[in-house]
Structure 1
Amino acid sequence: MNFRHLAAAALLPASLLALSACQQDSARPAATASATLAASSAARPAAAASASPDAMAALQQALEQRIPQLNGHILEVNPSPMPGLYEVLASGNNLFYTDAQGDFLLNGSLLDTRTQQDLTADRIDQLSAIAFDKLPAQDAFVTKRGDGSRQLAVFSDPNCPFCHRLEESLAKVDNITIHTYLLPILGENSVSRAGQIWCAPDRVKAWEDWMLRKTAPAAAASCDTDALQRNVRFAEQHNITGTPALVFANGKRVSGAIPVEQIEKLLAESQ
């Protein structure tokens, strides 16, 4: 679903569409949206509305009838941690909140004021996580630095400027094994460049020459590039719509050209 159309119709704020890195299409909403709903479950009584499967199905039906853009794109409706508020999960890991009757729809972060925990960000992390051992290892090339003890997977388009910026940061990280999945989603030139790198005799060198030094890969004999299409299909299945996308050993997924300090922090947390 193109949620830009939803925002254009003034049904949802444009903050839903915050972009991270190089986008093929609209990505999952940022965990920190412009509208923030701060709530404490201790401050309100439990809602009287039923959370039965029938009630959730009726709520989903009401939302789809009132907002045609959501029709067929709501995956499930469940009670949220805040009494009386319900979580609406739409395709693309888009999260909204609604009341028991579907009269109101909220886009933003639900905070637990007691713990200062961003419950929406935690839920999105849970929904977007990818088990590291489920990654198609055969469709990546591997860069090892130092003892290679820390694992990281990166989905990257060779023509994405944010991917170039990320590679500059990754070059400063030691004791790491990086599994690079070429994800050419920015046009035919990306497909061509990714093919040149994948078919190079030394993929790691060709990648680093291009990403860090802007040296184009030397002409190489053609090879089987089906891995690139498999990467695109894998990305579609897991709602990876922008590059770079990083997957850490604990399954946590992060988008964008994050700095070295954040990479180190996330690597430490994933051990």
Structure 2
Amino acid sequence: MRRLTLSLVGAALLATAAHANEAVIRKNLSERLPNLPRIDEVRPTPMRGLFEIRINGTDILYTDAEGNYLIQGALIDTKARVNLTDERLEKLTAIAFDELPLKDAFTVVRGNGQRKLAVFADPNCGFCKRFERDLAKLDNVTIHTFLYPVLGKDSEQKSRAIWCARDRNKAWDDWMQRGVTPPEPKADAKCDTTALERNIAFGQKYRITGTPTTILANGTRLPGAVGLDRLEPLLAQSGGAK
């Protein structure tokens, strides 16, 4: 009982110290760096005396216990050989599949559609085109495609044309797999393309920095054009029969 009491006292003291450090850090940084964005969170790191500062939702900085210094970079655990900053960012930017804004995507279902994935893709991305050829070989799958035009004005134009097409899946496949340019929507056509703007905002929030980026049903994020030899087992692990 005495050991348990001492442990509880120690934990309370640590929590009090951490709270005091947070107050000092917030006060000093806000006074000394008035242009620094609002601090979302202050938390201790595994490195003694070093604290994580989170701003803009998912931007990570580091400081000492008094906010005298500000560090931008990666915190690496050399014993475990782990990039702690990357691990933290992965948690902060994790995307729950059920929370994806599917209304801003177009969807194709093949077979029983049990295996699910979402893909953020730019129509001018060469790796996306290669990935599409592999995705076309999958069966018993549901694929949600989010147009993510990040490679320039032409990507925006093609994305608008595909989104405004009568058959979005056909327009997408024609362009990505056969090189058939999607026709520009008619001037008098009523087509709401704000979904593309929301896709960009969503991607920026969750740090989707490249295309293609794939999200599996279990939340696993796959950057780049993943080959079928790797994608098939990952789909099986994420849930849904082949």
TM range (shorter): 0.7 to 0.9
Equivalent position amino acid for 1:224 in 2: C
Contact 2:52 2:61 in 1 (8 A): yes
Q: Please give the alpha-carbon distance, in whole angstroms, between the structure 2 residues aligned to 1:241 and 1:73.
A: 23
Structure 1 residue 236 displacement after superposition: 4.2
Contact 1:79 1:87 in 2 (8 A): yes
Q: Which amino acid aligns with 1:263?
A: L
More helix by share: 2
Letter in 2 for 1:200: A
Alpha-carbon RMSD: 3.3
Give the Cα separation in 2 of the matches to 1:161 and 1:264: 21
Q: Does 1:213 align with 2:175?
A: no
Q: Which one of 118, 123, 128 corresponds to residue 153 of structure 1?
A: 118
Change (3 A) 1:263 1:117: farther
TM-score normalised by length of structure 2: 0.73
Q: Supply the AA of the counterpart residue of 1:234.
A: F
Partner residue in 2 for 1:105 = 71
Alignment match, 2:95? 130
- Comparing 215-224 with 142-151, greater Cα deviation is found at 215-224
2:52 paired residue number: 87
1:263 equivalent in alignment to 2:228: no
Tell me by how many angstroms 1:120 deviates: 3.2
The residue identity in structure 1 corresponding to 2:216 is F
TM-score normalised by the chain length of structure 1:
0.66
Higher relative contact order at CA 8 Å, sep ≥6: structure 1 or structure 2? Answer: 1
Once the two structures are superposed, residues 198-238 of structure 1 have per-residue CA deviations (whole angstroms, 9 ceiling, x without a partner) of 22232212112211222212455534233323333433444
1:60–1:76 contact (8 Å) kept in structure 2 = no
> CA 1:85–1:168 in structure 2 vs 1: closer, same or farther (change >3 Å)?
farther
The range that moved more, 196-205 or 91-100, is 91-100
Relative to 1, partners in 2 of residues 1:252 and 1:62: Cα closer, same or farther, differing over 3 Å? farther
CA separation in 2, counterparts of 1:88 and 1:254?
27
Aligned residues: 223
Classify 1:172/1:108 alpha carbon distance in 2 versus 1 (closer, same or farther; 3 Å): farther
- 2:18 maps to a residue whose letter is A
Distance 2:223 2:23 in 1: 32
Pairing partner for 2:211 from 217, 240, 243: 243
Task: Select the residue among 113, 131, 139 that pairs with 1:166.
Answer: 131
Other structure's SS at 1:148 match? coil
Corresponding position: 1:224 with 2:205:
no
Q: Deviations over 1:98-144 (max 9, x none)?
A: 33234362522433735x65543332221111222222222211123
Give the distance between the partners of 1:124 and 1:144, measured in 2 at CA: 32
SS at match of 1:50: helix
Question: AA paired with 1:201?
Answer: R
Give runs of aligned pairs for residues 4-23 of structure 1, distance below 5 A.
none
Counterpart residue number, 2:147: 182
